Amino acid sequence: MAGGVGSRFWPKSRNHFPKQFIDILGLGKSLLQLTYERFLKICPNEQIFILTNENYAQLVKEQLPYILEKNILLEPSRNNTAPCIAYASYKISKSNPLANIVVAPSDHLILKEDFFLDKINQALSFSSYNEALLTLGISPSRPDTGYGYIKYQNLSVEHQVSSIEKQVSSIKNNDAEIKKVTDFMEKPSLKKAQSYLDSGDYVWNAGIFIWSANAIIKAFEKYAPEIASLFAKGLDSYNTGTEKEFINSNYPSSPNISIDYAILERADNVYTIPADIGWSDLGTWASLHHVVEKDEDGNACRCQHINLQNTKDCLIQLPANKAAVIKGLSDYIIVDDGKVLLIYPKSDEQEIKQIAGQMVKDFGNEYQ
């Protein structure tokens, strides 16, 4: 999934060039490119699909030149994750009804790729034999209030399997790591987040999903029939020359709803695999500061010429040709994208999305 605008990373992430296309980590590759390379270790290039807004088609082609053009699925409108997942699922099922599907955001950081690949393969083994909806749960390392949480039951694999209508014929999972999900929790208060951490029965919701094409389509039919009926109408069009016309005509009328609300919070066959994979959703500047390399004063600087005095715990990103002198700041975000300079307390970064909107309102769409 590569269609978001990443508004909390304003001004670096803008409508015309959002977060997933930016080398936000300073590695010489965008987050989209890193995600693509990660999944090449799971499946071949021709089985990787990119779902993005039609405005970003050229960016995807430039950054992923080996992706088949037919595998770039263009959304004519932003209708959240449920419709885009439905579109891909029905299209994939048309060509391979027995397909297993991994759904992943294109703009997340995963530091422990070997562990990640192992968990994905465990999940694919499970979804191959069970009508189950799996989500990769992130083992929480702190009582974070910025993530949604998933509560699970600590059951054995045998117990879990029997609850999915005993459809299992083979389970290649020796560690009993697949857990039955009981609840999805919204972003909690700090007190609740601490209680979740202390209980040991909660994981962060990373938005990484694994299921068979058959399982997710049945779930759409049962829990989101409006979405199911809309995309089922396109069965004669998928993978043909009329697919784009069908999507452009019908996709904008799909409900604007996330996959969590549409299906996962309602379904009774949802499972999770807790995982410590060095994950971050990189949803905010502070989350980026948390994972990147810092100096002895806690400053994370991406700039060539800088003089820091009495400055600590700041995230600083400047254009290559710009020098800066900074004194007396603590816990600040300082980002200059060449057109906009942002100097903002990290503690107030949740306001940045609204500030960006106000800039557009006051000074025009060039700041969007």
| pLDDT tens-place string over residues 311-357 | 999 999 999 889 999 999 999 999 998 889 999 999 999 899 899 99
| Residue 156 pLDDT > 90 | no
The region of weakest confidence among 165-179, 191-205, 348-362 is 165-179
Question: What are the beta bridge partners of residue 101?
Answer: 211
Domain limits at 328?
A: 286-367
Residue 355 lies in a domain: yes
Question: In this structure, are residues 148 and 187 in contact, taking their beta carbons and an 8 Å threshold?
Answer: yes
Contacts of 28 (CB under 8 A, 6+ apart): none
Distance of alpha carbon 129 from alpha carbon 165, whole angstroms: 11
**Which string of b and e fits 238-249 if b means at least 16 CB within 10 Å?**
beeeebeebbee
Residues 261 and 345 in one domain: no
Residues 232 and 266 in one domain: yes
Residues 102 and 219 in one domain: yes
Q: Three-state secondary structure along 312-333?
A: ECCEEECCCCCEEEEECCECEE
Distance of alpha carbon 64 from alpha carbon 34, whole angstroms: 10
Last residue of a domain, one of 264, 283, 302: 283
Residues 220 and 320 in one domain: no
Alpha helices for the chain (secondary structure H): 31-39, 57-63, 81-95, 113-129, 157-162, 190-199, 213-223, 225-232, 243-250, 259, 285-291, 352-363
Residues 61 and 17 in one domain: yes
| pLDDT tens-place string over residues 134-154 | 999 998 888 888 888 999 986
Residues 30 and 150 in one domain: yes
CATH classification at residue 248: 3.90.550.10
Residues 272 and 318 in one domain: no
131 to each of 123, 210, 215, 216, 249, how far by Cα in Å? 12, 11, 5, 9, 32
- ω before 319 within 30° of 0 (cis)? no
Q: How many domains does the chain have?
A: 2
2 to each of 67, 292, 367, how far by Cα in Å? 14, 22, 21
Instruction: Write out the H or E segment, with its range, that includes residue 343.
Output: strand 341-345
Question: In this structure, are residues 250 and 129 in contact, taking their beta carbons and an 8 Å threshold?
Answer: no
Residues 44 and 192 in one domain: yes
Find which of 25-29, 85-89, 167-171, 173-177 is predicted with most confidence, using mean pLDDT.
Answer: 85-89
The pLDDT value recorded for residue 168 is 39
Residues 263 and 316 in one domain: no
Residues 21 and 98 in one domain: yes
Q: Global pTM?
A: 0.88
Question: What are the beta bridge partners of residue 279?
Answer: 110
The pLDDT value recorded for residue 186 is 86
Residues 272 and 356 in one domain: no
Mapped onto helix, strand or coil, the DSSP state of residue 210 is strand
Residue 1 lies in a domain: no
Compute how many other C-beta atoms are within 10 angstroms of the C-beta atom of residue 141. 11
Average pLDDT of span 115-143 = 93
Residue 2 lies in a domain: no
Last residue of a domain, one of 263, 283, 303: 283
The pLDDT value recorded for residue 172 is 41
114: which DSSP letter? H
**Bridging pattern class, strands 50-53 and 72-75:** parallel
Residues 234 and 308 in one domain: no
Distance of alpha carbon 327 from alpha carbon 348, whole angstroms: 20
Last residue of a domain, one of 238, 262, 283: 283
